[in-house]
Structure 1
Amino acid sequence: MTTIYDISKATGFSPTTVSKALNDYSDVSEKTKQIILKKASEMGYIPNSHARILITKKSWTIGILFDEKLNIGMKHPYFNAIIESFKENVESRGYDLLFISKDLGGNRTTYLDHCIIRGIDGVIIITSHPNNEQIIELINSDFPCVLIDNECNRKSSIHSDDVRGCYLAVEYLYSLGHRKIAHIYGSKDTFAGNVRLNEFINSLKKFNLPKIDEYLVDGGYFSFDGGYNAMKKLLELEDLPTAVFTAGDFMAVGAISAIKEKGLRVPEDISIIGYDDLDICKYVTPRLTTIKQNTDLIGKNAADILINEIDKKICRTSMIIPVELVVRDSCKPIK
């Protein structure tokens, strides 16, 4: 069966140009289109189309672009839960999902090339580095896009209310009598890490608590090891914090491990509060107090926003999803 790669080799045009010509994109010259269409006809190229696609002028395919630096990918329970919710909502409306990569049929492509070649209707983007050139190229394209756990002034976005989440964490620790509160933050080149660090500092100000630079430690890309190593640095201080707020639950579990290794106890010696409310929070000892992100709502609303952009040509939408404090056993009042 003839593919666009066969036509590409026969004509000398790139797969992206071939795909654009076959789909009548306006940025391909009429002369180039005619060469490609003629060769496609000669080679017996048959588009894999169904009647619904022909009638609606849509591929009924949505792309998922997952690009993060921790290299956990879909194994990360937070993003896995969001994608599962998103999948359930778009599939119920007749869409298929396609994971967007830079490697298509053994050929290196850009994310945008992949989207064009596959003819997707829209894409959700989950990335820890939105300033990546290929991500920016896709954001600047005509494809309907929704960024998850990020903000963008050019495309739609959805994320949790980190302002409220950080305030709830500090407020709760303050209510327990804690005045020496440290923060293990996520990498500043991530949206969540940067925002939560800034909002933690703003929350300290609201309770007239001092910002102690030694109490602010980089935990990297929200991993167990990042939290463990950051907590070890805090434990080297002469004046230990009585509570630590981490920007992610994996980091919180790593911090608890470092505290126990030091011969101290949670929460008797140091209280710990996380962020996410992953399932692991219920099973670690002590059970982790945390800020819950509503992954079901994030996934559902991401689906609604993207499909509205595809069907109704609705312009950029920005949505913030509420969070809540989940109290368990890892925090204790100061006597």
Structure 2
Amino acid sequence: MTGRAGRVTQTVGIKDVARLAGVSVGTVSNVLNRPEKVSEHTRVRVRAVIDQLGFVRSETARQLRVGTSRILAILVLDMGNPFFVAVAKGAERAAREAGLGVMLCNSAGSTAEEAEYLSLFTEQRVRGVLLTPADATGGNVRTFARRGIPYVHVDRAVPADEGCSVSVDDVAGGTLAVRHLLAAGHRSVTYISGPMSLPQCRDRHTGALAALREAGLPETALRHVESARLDVASGIDAGARLLGLADRPTAVFCANDLLALGVLQAMYGAGVDVPGDMSIVGYDDIEFAAAAVVPLTSVRQPADAMGRTAARMLMEETGPDAEGHRHRSVVLQPELVVRSSTHAPAPRPSASRRPAPHDPAR
């Protein structure tokens, strides 16, 4: 390696630190990994030499020596979605509290990219993985499971014999959303989702239908618009499709807040009053939901708690008491947060009772 002045520099190793500090390599290792075993005087001297030499320990060498990594990997569906950012932050805080680092990756909903990242995690021999699967068939996860690295499903419930999981009761969340709209008097509701291959979209739809049955209404009272993605652009497109309907719904329930914000943008651009002409409910309760031009009613998911819980479960499975670990499924409960985007439906004039034309002379 060549320095700025053209001189060849060498990587500083643990032996260099030990030699200059006048201690054994084992003592330096204890200062780095088990400082409680070293006297304060020696720790101070070794740390001073580490700072002087600019020594950085090799995580690869440490991993080869002790057999475990200090890195947790997190693989989410969409880092453009603030919900997954909040999940990752919760997991990172729990990992840092335990002295572990985090590798954050984004599959972008691609099964091919998911497979590549899972292979990378195997090559790096990470301590464990927090995973929101993109592959609806489960093939990528089954392949990864054979590699012996522990993992926890996040935002996806699985049977205990398939591993640990942390999720939210999305059926209950869908019921909360549509029950709220029905209680406000809406009878023309449309559910806008992402791909129905995603369990979250299916479960929220199932919950919406349950609310209809609870109210004594047929399932056909709920129309469904499926989008290719769970993002704002897809929400705008879905909103445009609704605007083209002769019998436009009075209420919309969206599978996430990004879709809902897109629908809101489409309505706002077309001069449709929200909530006067159309009520909108989102899902996740991301930070932007409350800050929208019309604050968005949303089903809140405890994203931070989900990330923290998943990370702690993974650390239990990879910690010193791992032999006694038993897989379990933790299901958290959603909460409806009501804001200005929902209201009772505005009365629609019938053909026999149209409003009188405006008289400019008045």
TM-score tier, shorter chain, comes to 0.7 to 0.9
C-alpha separation between the residues in 1 aligned to 2:260 and 2:84?
18
2:92 counterpart of 1:87: yes
The more displaced of 227-236 and 162-171 is 227-236
Match of 1:328 in 2: 339
Q: 1:53 to 1:90 in 2, by over 3 A?
A: farther
**Structure 1 residue 302: deviation in Å?**
0.5
Aligned residue number for residue 291 of structure 1: 299
Partner of 2:7: none
The answer to whether the Cα contact below 8 Å between 2:187 and 2:221 also exists between their aligned partners in 1 is no
Local SS of the residue matching 2:75:
strand
Pairing partner for 1:250 from 242, 246, 258: 258
SS in 2 for 1:75: coil
Q: Distance in 1 between matches of 2:270 and 2:146?
A: 50
SS, match of residue 219 in structure 2: coil
Which of 307, 314, 335 lines up with 1:306 in the alignment?
314
For these two proteins, the number of residue pairs brought into alignment is 278
Q: Distance in 2 between matches of 1:179 and 1:213?
A: 7
What's the CA shift for 1:265?
0.7
1:149 partner amino acid: D
Q: How does 1:95-134 map to 2 (within 5 A)?
A: 95-99=100-104, 110-131=116-137, 133-134=139-140
Q: Residue type matched to 1:58 in 2? A: T
Are 1:111 and 1:135, in contact at CA under 8 Å, matched by a contact in 2? Answer: no
Structure 1 pair 48/228, CA: closer, same or farther in 2 (3 Å)? closer
* CA deviation string 1:204-233 (max 9, x = no partner): 111122333772111332111211222222
Alpha carbons of structure 1 residues 282 and 47: separation in structure 2 relative to 1, 3 Å: closer
Deviation at 1:296, TM superposition (A): 1.3
Secondary structure at 2:299 match in 1: strand
Q: Secondary structure at the match of 1:127?
A: coil
Q: For the residues of structure 1 that align with 2:104 and 2:265, how far apart are their CA atoms?
A: 35
Same amino acid, percent of matched pairs: 28
- Alpha-carbon distance between aligned partners in 1 of 2:286 and 2:251, rounded to the nearest angstrom: 20
1:46-57 superposed matches below 5 A: 48-50=60-62, 54=65, 57=67
Equivalent position of 2:151 in the other structure: 145
Residue identity opposite 1:197 in structure 2: H
> Higher Cα Rg: structure 1 or 2?
2
Matched letter for residue 99 of structure 2: G
Whole-angstrom distance in 1 between the partners of 2:271 and 2:189: 20
Cα distance, 1:244–1:101 mapped onto 2, change above 3 Å? closer
**Aligned residue in 2 for 1:8:** none
Number of the residue aligned with 1:276: 284
TM-score (norm 2): 0.70
**What is the rounded CA distance, in whole Å, between the counterparts of 2:219 and 2:244 in structure 1?**
18
Equivalent residue number for residue 228 of structure 2? 220
**How many Å separate the matches in 2 of 1:130 and 1:302?**
20
Contact 1:214 1:234 survives alignment (8 Å): no
- 1:163 and 1:64, CA in 2 relative to 1: closer, same or farther beyond 3 A? same
* Equivalent position amino acid for 2:132 in 1: I
Preserved CA contact (<8 Å) 1:122 1:143: yes
Q: How far, CA to CA, are the matches of 2:340 and 2:73 in structure 1?
A: 40
1:59 aligns with 2:65: no
**Alpha carbons 1:276, 1:291 under 8 Å: kept:** yes
1:112 shift after superposition: 4.5
Q: CA deviation at 1:81?
A: 0.8
Structure 2, unmatched stretches of 5+, are 2-57, 108-114, 348-362
- 1:49 CA drift (Å): 3.1
Secondary structure in 1 matching 2:61: coil
In the alignment, structure 1 segments of 5+ residues that lack a partner are 2-45, 103-108
Q: Is the alpha carbon distance of 1:315 and 1:200 closer, same or farther for their aligned partners in structure 2, counting shifts above 3 Å?
A: same
- 1:52-91 deviations in Å (ceiling 9; x for gaps): 9845x4222212223x3xxxx4332111111011001011
* Superposed CA RMSD: 2.5
State the Cα distance separating 1:150 from its structure 2 match: 1.5
Q: Name the CA shift for 1:181/1:100 in 2 (closer, same or farther; >3 Å).
A: closer
The Cα of 1:133 is off from its aligned counterpart by: 4.0
Letter in 2 for 1:63: A
For 1:100 and 1:219, how far apart are their aligned partners in 2? 24
